[in-house]
């Protein structure tokens, strides 16, 4: 068996590692639920693990099998559950029921049969050259020092600072709305409402204390609603209520726009809970510590050398094309070099 975080060597021409995550088929839950899962460390993702594993098989197995066989490699290995650095992370699974290894073994063989071919592939028994192993990974020896992952703790701290600023903004915004609420009132309502009517009177008195509109207000005159076309000329007459109520409101609109508060803060780490859960690897020590029946596995596929000398093609599920490739080094990193598509 292998240990969690054990180093098993770097990737080579004969070894391809794929760290397992849930990015292929993401979890359909809300941001609040992502936070909850980070806080209680509950593992409830067996279905997501299995659906993502299916996608790994569909996307990677035909590609790397094709590259190993086209390169004449003796025993090529694809290992799911190990990262690019060669560190064992594993595939987490809560064994309320056994891990369905036989199902995935058949799935891997089927992907080879269905998505790899040569011009006379019907004569080849490709699956005879494949060995598939499920290897249990020994979990971390020590329980995490803190209940929350350090990145989640940092996330909470920054989130709280952000929310404090946001709540302060909400208070300022509400005060601004209340102060300039008059901009949402109709002209007739400003003139006829007792509270705004009195403020309008003081405004006129400050600008023109002998204006006739002041006495109109004092005698209880009520402004009537008229169309914009009729109001057009009245707004130009200083002895008409529409002139003053329009001027009064326009002054507030200018202040309203000038003093409108804006919120410029951003919360750049808002995706941390999502990344922690979907990335899987960082949460494994927490899941194993806080959940019963948790297991870690890696899946190892060994592809024996194919001596036919044929050129193999595989169907790429991303580009929807049939491709062919070989295993080469590029800048000291093993890669699949694509040479043809159709």
| pLDDT value at residue 310 | 84
Average pLDDT over residues 134-157: 92
243 and 326 together in one domain: no
Decide if 287 is inside a domain: no
Q: Is the pLDDT of residue 341 over 80?
A: no
Decide if 34 is inside a domain: yes
Q: pLDDT-derived band of residue 142, with 50, 70 and 90 as boundaries?
A: confident
109 and 204 together in one domain: no
185 and 97 together in one domain: no
Among 9, 7, 12, 8, residue whose Cα is nearest residue 76: 12
Q: Is the pLDDT of residue 284 over 90?
A: yes
Domain total in the chain: 2
306 and 249 together in one domain: no
Decide if 77 is inside a domain: yes
- Whole-number Å distance between alpha carbons of 293 and 94: 6
> Which of 206, 238, 258 marks a domain boundary?
258
Decide if 229 is inside a domain: yes
121 and 56 together in one domain: yes
In percent, the amount of the chain with pLDDT more than 90 equals: 77
98 and 217 together in one domain: no
Query: Residues 226-257: pLDDT tens digits?
Result: 888 888 889 899 999 999 999 999 998 989 99
Decide if 269 is inside a domain: no
| pLDDT value at residue 161 | 93
7 and 135 together in one domain: yes
| 3-state secondary structure (DSSP) of residue 34 | helix
Q: Is the pLDDT of residue 57 over 90?
A: yes
14 and 137 together in one domain: yes
* In contact, 322 and 342? CB cutoff 8 Å: yes
2-38 per-residue burial string, b: 16 or more CB within 10 A, e: under 16:
bebeeeeeebebbbbbbbbbbebbebeeeeeebbebb
Decide if 322 is inside a domain: yes
Decide if 265 is inside a domain: no
Radius of gyration of the chain (CA): 35
Q: pLDDT-derived band of residue 120, with 50, 70 and 90 as boundaries?
A: low
Q: Is the pLDDT of residue 340 over 80?
A: no
Decide if 264 is inside a domain: no
- β-pair type (313-316, 116-117): antiparallel
Average pLDDT over residues 85-98: 96
Range of 104's domain? 2-143+292-341
138 and 186 together in one domain: no
119 vs 48: which has the higher pLDDT? 48
Average pLDDT over residues 213-235: 90
36 and 133 together in one domain: yes
> Which of 258, 280, 304 marks a domain boundary?
258
| pLDDT value at residue 241 | 94
| 3-state secondary structure (DSSP) of residue 179 | helix
99 and 35 together in one domain: yes
> Which of 258, 277, 307 marks a domain boundary?
258
| 3-state secondary structure (DSSP) of residue 290 | helix
* In contact, 196 and 189? CB cutoff 8 Å: yes
Q: Is the pLDDT of residue 34 over 80?
A: yes
Distances (CA, A) of 59 to 11, 117, 139, 278, 300: 19, 16, 28, 18, 16
| pLDDT value at residue 230 | 82
| pLDDT value at residue 121 | 56
Average pLDDT over residues 293-320: 90
Average pLDDT over residues 27-40: 92
135 and 203 together in one domain: no
């Amino acid at each position: 068996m292998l240990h969690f975080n054990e180093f098993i060597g770097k990737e080579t021409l004969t070894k391809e590692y794929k760290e397992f995550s849930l990015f292929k088929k993401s979890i359909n839950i809300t941001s609040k639920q992502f936070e909850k899962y980070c806080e209680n460390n509950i593992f409830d993702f067996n279905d997501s693990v299995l659906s993502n594993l299916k996608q790994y098989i569909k996307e990677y197995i035909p590609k790397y099998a094709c590259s190993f066989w086209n390169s004449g490699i003796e025993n090529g290995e694809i290992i799911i559950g190990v990262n690019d650095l060669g560190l064992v992370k594993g595939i987490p699974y809560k064994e309320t029921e056994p891990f369905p290894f036989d199902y995935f073994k058949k799935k891997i063989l089927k992907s080879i049969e269905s998505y790899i071919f040569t011009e006379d592939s019907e004569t080849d028994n490709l699956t005879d050259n494949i060995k598939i192993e499920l290897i249990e990974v020994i979990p971390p020896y020590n329980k995490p020092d803190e209940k929350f992952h350090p990145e989640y703790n940092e996330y909470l701290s920054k989130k709280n600072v952000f929310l404090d600023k946001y709540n302060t903004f909400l208070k300022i915004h509400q005060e601004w709305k209340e102060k300039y609420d008059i901009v949402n009132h109709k002209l007739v309502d400003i003139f006829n409402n007792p509270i705004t009517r009195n403020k309008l009177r003081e405004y006129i008195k400050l600008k023109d204390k002998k204006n006739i509109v002041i006495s109109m207000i004092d005698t209880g005159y009520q402004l009537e609603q008229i169309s914009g076309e009729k109001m057009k000329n009245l707004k130009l007459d200083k002895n008409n209520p529409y002139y003053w109520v329009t001027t009064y409101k326009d002054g507030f609109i200018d202040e309203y726009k000038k003093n409108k508060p804006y919120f410029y803060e951003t919360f750049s780490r808002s995706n941390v809970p999502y990344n922690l859960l979907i990335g899987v690897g960082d949460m494994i020590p927490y899941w194993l510590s806080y959940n019963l029946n948790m297991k870690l596995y890696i899946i190892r596929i060994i592809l024996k050398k194919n001596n036919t000398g044929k050129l193999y093609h595989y169907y790429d599920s991303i580009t929807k094309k049939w491709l062919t490739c070989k295993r080469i080094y590029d800048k000291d990193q093993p890669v699949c070099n694509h040479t043809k598509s159709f």
